[in-house]
Amino acid sequence: MATKKISYEEAMKELEGIVQMLEEGNVSLEDSLEMYQRGIELTKLCQEKLAAAENKLAKVVTESDEEEPFQAEEGKK
């Protein structure tokens, strides 16, 4: 299965479905391997999307329209 352009949410939903099917154990070995490979593709896609979002959040535009690194305050929830 080729990874088409899908959203993070779509990838996570598909990945959750794969995990559920593998946990149930009602699939053949060949199908399990294909599902596992697809799961790896989806995991990489999700990691890339999260990294891109993190990079966008890492910059905050100041009042003077200059970009400065975003620094999260530790200890606050």
pLDDT, tens digit (0-9, with 9 covering 90-100), for 28-58: 999 999 999 999 999 999 999 999 888 887 7
Q: Which residue has the higher pLDDT, 23 or 63?
A: 23
Compute CA distances 10 → 14, 23, 30, 41, 73, whole Å. 6, 20, 24, 13, 31
Share of the chain above pLDDT 90, in %: 60
Q: What gap in Å lies between CA 39 and CA 56, rounded to an integer? A: 26
3-state SS, residue 27: coil
Q: What gap in Å lies between CA 37 and CA 2, rounded to an integer? A: 11
What pLDDT score does 53 carry? 87
If one counts every other C-beta atom within 10 angstroms of the C-beta of residue 26, the result is 8
Per-chain mean pLDDT for the chain: 83
What pLDDT score does 77 carry? 45
Domains of the chain (ranges, CATH numbers): 8-63 (1.10.287.1040)
